[in-house]
Amino acid sequence: MHSLVLENLSYRYDGEAVVDSLNLTVEQNEIVCLLGASGCGKTTTLKAIAGLIEPFQGSVSILGKAMNGNGTFVPPQKRNIGMMFQDYALFPHLTVAQNVAFGLTSKSKRERQDRVAEMLHLVQLQDYSDRFPHELSGGQQQRVAIARALAYKPNLLLLDEPFSNIDAQVRFQLINDIRRIIKDQQVSAIFVSHSKEEAFAFADRLAIMDKGKIAQVGEPRTLFQRPKSKMVAEFLGQGIYIPAQRVNGASVETQFGAVKSLVELGDLDAKGEMYVRPQHITLENAELGSVKILNQRFMGTEYIYRVALEGQELEIPHPAHEPLDLNQPISLKIKAHAVNFFS
């Protein structure tokens, strides 16, 4: 049975569709990230799943049970959903242990104490149970929030930008920790983010959203290697478009020579363009080179060269121990990679 199914989900604000016939399935024990630019409808989708708003059209089902439609609407407190938001929303006047115990009202005192101890052990805060939220770091507060959200064994966990207030240096450690905790508890989760780096590190699958719809769903590597649209390719990382001709299923011809593709290019139109990312480009001094370098930046282990190509600009990293001679012509090569070709 699926953990969550969204079918034709639609929601409007002031007559304008902000979630538009959206379909998505989350499997049990799976973490799916709704990833997209600001305003594309991620939080609104999350609110519809939680039951904080009623969909204008379409349905939400959790573990096979319809949450709305045919005159029914299951309220948020009856959906058995855990929630975690960017501002932690811990109760400031309650201790860590009291915060974690908050949703466990139906349990006996002994059961509550045991579950709180278990959860604090899981998030490695067993020595902090009597502290108040203001006596904790941001990462510790977020671990209390996850312990509280998981304490009553929800069917589904919703996380809205939970890492955006966390210092960049500890963010990825916390992402790893919380992913481990969610997997350990065998809970399904929907995670909302606009950061692809966070999504890559945290989620099993990504659902890329654009203007209220899902543009593409898949594992991070698949989306990166086989984006179905330019929007998805561009969202997943900086690059430039270069005119290209498909020679066969395994290579394209460009003004910079033939480029081998590590993924099958399929039955596409012969002429089109390829989206090339900086890490697939190498620059070198060569007699017939014609690449224009706009500026360079020394970064310690590498130089970043800003180049102008086909009316676009791109920053390309290059090893610092073999700097280019900018007074000599410079040429560009494209390495074999999973080519993103668009007809």
Ligand X SMILES: Nc1ncnc2c1ncn2[C@@H]1O[C@H](COP(=O)(O)OP(=O)(O)OP(=O)(O)O)[C@@H](O)[C@H]1O
Task: Enumerate binding residues for ligand X (CB under 6 A).
Answer: 13-14, 18, 36, 38-44, 194
18/123 with CB nearer ligand X: 18
| Closest separation in Å from C-beta 170 to ligand X | 22
Residue 224 contacts residue 216 (beta carbons within 8 Å) = no
Rounded CA-CA distance 142/178 in Å is 9
10 Å CB burial of residue 52 (0-12, 13-18, 19+) is: middle
Amino acid at the residue 118: E
36/227 with CB nearer ligand X: 36
35/81 with CB nearer ligand X: 35
> 247 Cβ partners below 8 Å, 6+ apart?
253, 258
| Closest separation in Å from C-beta 203 to ligand X | 16
| Closest separation in Å from C-beta 165 to ligand X | 14
Please tell me what DSSP assigns to residue 338.
Answer: -
| Closest separation in Å from C-beta 253 to ligand X | 40
47/115 with CB nearer ligand X: 47
Q: Is 186 left (phi over 0), alpha (psi -120 to 50) or beta?
A: left
60/259 with CB nearer ligand X: 60
Task: Label each residue of 310-329 as H, E or C.
Answer: CCEEEEEEEECCCCCCCCCC
193/340 with CB nearer ligand X: 193
| Closest separation in Å from C-beta 41 to ligand X | 4
| Closest separation in Å from C-beta 36 to ligand X | 6
Rounded CA-CA distance 32/225 in Å is 19
CA–CA distances in Å: residue 213 to residues 56, 64, 75, 222, 230: 15, 23, 25, 19, 15
